[in-house]
Amino acid sequence: MIVIGLISGTSHDGVDVAAVDFRLGGDTLRGRLLAAATEPYPPRLRARLVAALPPATTSAEAVCRLDTELGQAFAAAAAGALARLPDGAADLLCTAGQTVFHGVEDGRVWGTLQLGQPAFLAEATGLPVVSGLRARDVAAGGHGAPLVSMLDVLTLAELAAPDPNAPVAALNLGGIANVTLVRPGVPPMAYDVGPANALIDAAMVRLSDGRASLDEGGRMAASGRVDGALLEELLAEPYYRRSPPKTTGKELFNGAYLDARAGGVNDADLVATLTALTAEVVARELCASGARRILVSGGGTHNETLMDWLAERIPPASLATTEALGLPVEAKEAMAFALIGWLTAHGLPGSVASCTGATDDRVLGSIAPGAGPLRLPRPVPMPTRLVMDASA
């Protein structure tokens, strides 16, 4: 089964898309990456999206327009992925959509909203579409995230076997940093650690009057000095002291959060301090976990200053990218949602309850039929491991 996974993350800059050919043999699921790309949002769409995100207020009309236009952007990304496949054919789409609000109150998620109307994907491609993934986990008492944990659990299983006392960690550095910890004989754990690029990006947008959306390569951070007083104030954020499972997003870590705390610090020093914040918060969690092998993905891997500062803080643990698992750092999340699509089509859970906090694992999402009758494959046993071949 060839499944195309699509997601736009907390950086909300475009649609990541990955086409994966899955084949099940015994208890091992094998996946081969056929195509992967990032399709940037048109500037006007991204501007409207940013204007509607917390802490801004919006209207039902604006939300409806975003749902339509994001659906059309996801549909274009899916059609582009199909065009890159050898025979232009796939079996299923799975879209995570664009999260525009994630409601967390007293450590519990009361609701979550992803936009990107799946009907447009079905119309553009003729393929069935799995969507609405997070809501089912939330309805079961979970946080609806991190859903990438299923991919992590299946790909890290064998790496964790040599040392039952030290978990293997998968770390994603997107807008938000999340970590999955896998250890033999112990339920896996996953949660959002805190901001990865979210505050750095917010600072760059403000400092450049919108001309830059990220600190390319971490060069501005490298040119500045960490402001110790500001760093201590930022580290006092109560979220960091909450116990997992927990999730967060730009509902908390946004431009307004930064403006309330970062007055009077010059440009380079501010970016350096925010980069140090990410490195410190992530390193504290990894060191406390006892992880000795850490595999990193996400856009933050291209921030050389962040990666260097993180590596300095985690010895004796080793730091490498998920390329070692056949998971390209920019495509990993889209591949995770391709996996969830495959699982849903086979009636298998795509969430890990010990990672999201739900009462149990759940089959995720709803399926919109494509151009023809909806035909699902026969049920199969849950695979215990995933082996990826990143040949694309």
Token duo for residue 100: 């525009």
State mean pLDDT over 177-203: 95
Which pLDDT value is given to residue 326? 93
Which pLDDT value is given to residue 55? 86
Please, are residues 316 and 290 in contact by the beta-carbon 8 Å criterion? no
Please check the confidence at residue 196 and state whether its pLDDT lies above 90: yes
State mean pLDDT over 52-67: 93
Cis peptide upstream of residue 245 (ω within 30 degrees of 0): yes
- Average per-residue pLDDT in the chain? 94
Which pLDDT value is given to residue 157? 82
Q: What is the pLDDT of residues 332-361, one digit of tens each?
A: 999 999 999 999 999 999 999 999 999 999
Which pLDDT value is given to residue 392? 54
Ordered by start, the domain boundaries in the chain are 2-140+332-389, 149-325
Which pLDDT value is given to residue 61? 97
Topology agreement, domain 2-140+332-389 and domain 149-325: yes
Indicate the pTM of the whole model: 0.95
State mean pLDDT over 152-160: 87
Please check the confidence at residue 77 and state whether its pLDDT lies above 60: yes
State mean pLDDT over 239-268: 92
- Looking at the domain that runs over 149-325, which CATH code has it been given? 3.30.420.40
Please check the confidence at residue 74 and state whether its pLDDT lies above 70: yes
Please check the confidence at residue 161 and state whether its pLDDT lies above 70: no
Q: What is the pLDDT of residues 4-15, one digit of tens each?
A: 999 998 888 899
Q: What is the pLDDT of residues 11-44, one digit of tens each?
A: 888 999 999 999 999 999 999 999 999 999 999 9
Name which of 1-5, 117-121, 150-154, 260-264 the model is least confident about: 260-264
Q: What is the pLDDT of residues 284-325, one digit of tens each?
A: 999 999 999 999 999 999 999 999 999 999 999 999 999 999
Please check the confidence at residue 162 and state whether its pLDDT lies above 70: no
In one-letter notation, the amino acid at residue 373 is P
Q: What is the distance between the alpha carbons of residues 103 and 252, in angstroms, rounded to a whole number?
A: 10
Q: What is the distance between the alpha carbons of residues 2 and 389, in angstroms, rounded to a whole number?
A: 14
Its CATH architecture, for the domain 2-140+332-389, is 2-Layer Sandwich (3.30)
